[in-house]
């Protein structure tokens, strides 16, 4: 109401725009893109002062792209210099969005190296395309990241996927931010070992969210996260990725998962699988507390059958491809045993219309998300494609249609 009152006063005849209340200017500037904000700062002295108010610089995203190879906008170099010179000590929530070029990633490292007077709470390194940070000399990247780890001392959120971070730099992170770190995302970091991530789990007892590759997951890590001194984890994301066909994957003991569930009974276990069919041998042979399950490559009927038997906490299931063998029995098994399932998506699969209706009937109205491509459904003696949406809608309690493949 106070801002609205100021706005009304400033639209009365004879209003001096140069004397707008600072709280109103701050509110307006927060909605302006950085470049427009910079232009506005040239209007008068009062607006220039507003441009430099610390409140405007707590949250900032550096966009670093090479004009010759990227259509994305970039933060102007002159603005970057001004930010580092005048506002580095105000920065708290910072992210870097870079394109696939090594030059952009190196520019991000150069900026990080200069943040010696800031105390960041969140840091995110985002590559819009690979390889980016992985092509930067490791020593350059580690040196820049260490500057932030040492000087911040209050990091609560760190997203460093697809970077050359290593075990020694994680030790520096822990030594300076163990009391505050709550979120750590570091998938596809090949220089980190299971011992490195175990060090984080042992020392950062306030962790709430953790994302990493499967090769970093171990029984020791799960037991560390399940210790009495550790705060309850809320989200654990695991990316199970095969770089080469025939890759070997280790097995996690059921007792380790059980310890995790006892300690954090409401935690979400999100697993993304990008494996070849012959590599699923170690998975889903015993009960696993996965809640969100995504198969990015083709997955066999046998594996989906094991999912139905051993994933009782499953909430969401996405199958991008399966092949030409109908998944009727597997879907029915999943509906029967996964009693918390509320979302499912099927891509290049086949399911008979009758089995699909039975699946929906068994799950009922708890299915809040049902994304099925029309090509997945195979008409049979009970239902045609024209009839199935009525039957499914009846059991869902809302109008439902299968997804259509765009024709353009």
The average pLDDT across 60-73 equals 72
Contact between residue 314 and residue 291 where contact means Cβ atoms under 8 Å apart: yes
Check whether 201 has a pLDDT greater than 80: yes
Check whether 407 has a pLDDT greater than 70: no
Residue percentage of the chain with pLDDT more than 70: 93
What pLDDT band is residue 218 in, cutting at 50, 70 and 90? very high
CATH code for the structural domain at 57-192: 3.80.10.10
Contact between residue 326 and residue 355 where contact means Cβ atoms under 8 Å apart: yes
Q: What is the pLDDT of residues 142-189, one digit of tens each?
A: 999 999 999 988 999 999 999 999 999 999 999 999 999 999 999 989
Check whether 5 has a pLDDT greater than 80: no
Fold of 21-56: Monooxygenase (1.20.1280)
The whole-number pLDDT of residue 35 equals 74
Residue carrying structure tokens 């040196």: 143
Distance of alpha carbon 106 from alpha carbon 112, whole angstroms: 10
The whole-number pLDDT of residue 7 equals 41
What pLDDT band is residue 9 in, cutting at 50, 70 and 90? very low
What residues are paired with 126 via a beta bridge? 97
The whole-number pLDDT of residue 233 equals 93
Choice among 67-76, 152-161, 277-286, 348-357 with the minimum mean pLDDT: 67-76
What pLDDT band is residue 405 in, cutting at 50, 70 and 90? low
Check whether 213 has a pLDDT greater than 90: yes
The average pLDDT across 105-118 equals 90
Check whether 227 has a pLDDT greater than 50: yes
The average pLDDT across 222-249 equals 90
The whole-number pLDDT of residue 162 equals 92
Looking at every residue in the chain, the average pLDDT score rounds to 88
What pLDDT band is residue 64 in, cutting at 50, 70 and 90? confident
Instruction: Give the start-to-end residue ranges of the domains of the chain.
Output: 21-56, 57-192, 275-407
Q: What is the 3-state secondary structure (H, E, C) of the chain?
A: CHHHHHHHHCCCCCCCHHHCCHHHHHHHHCCCCHHHHHHHCCCCHHHHHHHCCHHHHCEEEEEECCCCCCCCCCCCHHHHHHHHHHHCCCCCEEEEEECCCHHHHHHHHHHHHCCCCCCCCEEEEEECCCCHHHHCCHHHHHHHHHHHHHHHCCCCEEECCCCCCCHHHHHHHHHHHCCCCCEEECCCCCCCCHHHHHHHHHHCCCCCEEEEEHHHCCHHHHHHHCCCCCCCCCEEEEEEECCCCCCCCCCCCHHHHHHHHHHCCCCEEEEEEECCHHHCCCCCCCCCCCCEEEEEEECCHHHHHHHHHHCCCCCEEEEEECCCCCCHHHHHHHHHHCCCCCEEEEEECCEEHHHHHHHHHHHHHHCCEEEEEHHHEECCCCCCHHHHHHHHHHHHCCCCCCECCCCC
**Predicted TM-score (pTM) of this structure:** 0.86
Contact between residue 91 and residue 61 where contact means Cβ atoms under 8 Å apart: no
Check whether 4 has a pLDDT greater than 80: no
Check whether 337 has a pLDDT greater than 50: yes
Radius of gyration of the chain (CA): 26
The whole-number pLDDT of residue 28 equals 83
The whole-number pLDDT of residue 292 equals 98
Contact between residue 96 and residue 61 where contact means Cβ atoms under 8 Å apart: yes
244 contact partners, CB below 8 Å, separation of at least 6: none
Cis before 131 (ω within 30): yes
Q: What is the pLDDT of residues 78-105, one digit of tens each?
A: 778 888 888 888 889 999 999 888 999 9
What pLDDT band is residue 335 in, cutting at 50, 70 and 90? very high
Check whether 11 has a pLDDT greater than 70: no
CATH code for the structural domain at 275-407: 3.80.10.10
Burial 88-127 (b: 16+ CB within 10 A, else e): bebbbbbebbbbbbbbbbbbbbebbebbeebebbbbbbbb
Check whether 198 has a pLDDT greater than 60: yes
The whole-number pLDDT of residue 3 equals 41
Matching CATH topology for 57-192 and 275-407? yes
Contact between residue 150 and residue 120 where contact means Cβ atoms under 8 Å apart: no
């Amino acid at each position: 109401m106070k801002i609205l009152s100021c706005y009304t006063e400033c639209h009365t005849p004879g209003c001096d725009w140069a004397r707008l209340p600072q709280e109103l200017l701050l509110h307006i500037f927060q909605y302006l893109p950085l470049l427009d904000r910079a232009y506005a700062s040239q209007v008068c002295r009062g607006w220039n002062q507003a441009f430099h108010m610390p409140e405007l610089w707590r949250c900032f995203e550096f966009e670093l792209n090479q004009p010759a190879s990227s259509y994305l906008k970039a933060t102007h170099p002159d603005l970057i210099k001004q930010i580092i010179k005048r506002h580095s000590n105000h920065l708290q929530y910072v992210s870097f969005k870079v394109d696939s070029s090594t030059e952009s990633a190196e520019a991000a490292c150069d900026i990080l190296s200069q943040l010696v007077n800031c105390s960041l709470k969140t840091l995110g390194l985002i590559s819009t395309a690979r390889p980016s940070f992985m092509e930067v000399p490791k020593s350059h990247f580690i040196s820049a990241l260490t500057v932030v780890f040492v000087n911040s001392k209050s990091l609560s959120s760190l997203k460093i996927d697809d970077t050359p971070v290593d075990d020694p730099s994680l030790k520096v992170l822990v030594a300076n931010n163990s009391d505050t770190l709550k979120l750590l995302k570091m998938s596809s970091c090949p220089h980190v070992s299971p011992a490195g991530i175990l060090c984080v789990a042992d020392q950062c007892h306030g962790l709430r969210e953790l994302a990493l590759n499967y090769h970093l997951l171990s029984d020791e890590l799960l037991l560390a996260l399940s210790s009495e001194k550790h705060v309850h984890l809320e989200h654990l994301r695991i990316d199970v990725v095969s770089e080469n066909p025939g890759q070997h994957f280790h097995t996690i003991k059921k007792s380790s998962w059980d310890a995790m569930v006892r300690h954090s009974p409401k935690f979400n276990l999100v697993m993304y699988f990008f494996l070849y069919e012959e590599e699923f041998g170690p998975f889903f042979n015993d009960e696993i507390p996965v809640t969100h399950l995504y198969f990015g490559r083709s997955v066999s009927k046998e594996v989906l059958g094991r999912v139905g038997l051993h994933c009782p906490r499953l909430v969401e299931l996405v199958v991008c491809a399966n092949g030409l063998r109908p998944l009727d029995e597997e879907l029915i098994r999943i509906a029967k045993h996964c009693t918390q399932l509320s979302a499912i998506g099927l891509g290049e699969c086949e399911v008979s219309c009758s089995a699909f209706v039975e699946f929906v009937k068994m799950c009922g109205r708890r299915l809040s998300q049902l994304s099925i491509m029309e090509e997945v459904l195979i008409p049979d003696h009970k239902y045609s494609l024209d009839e199935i949406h009525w039957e499914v809608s009846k059991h869902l309690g809302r109008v439902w249609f299968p997804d259509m493949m765009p024709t353009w």
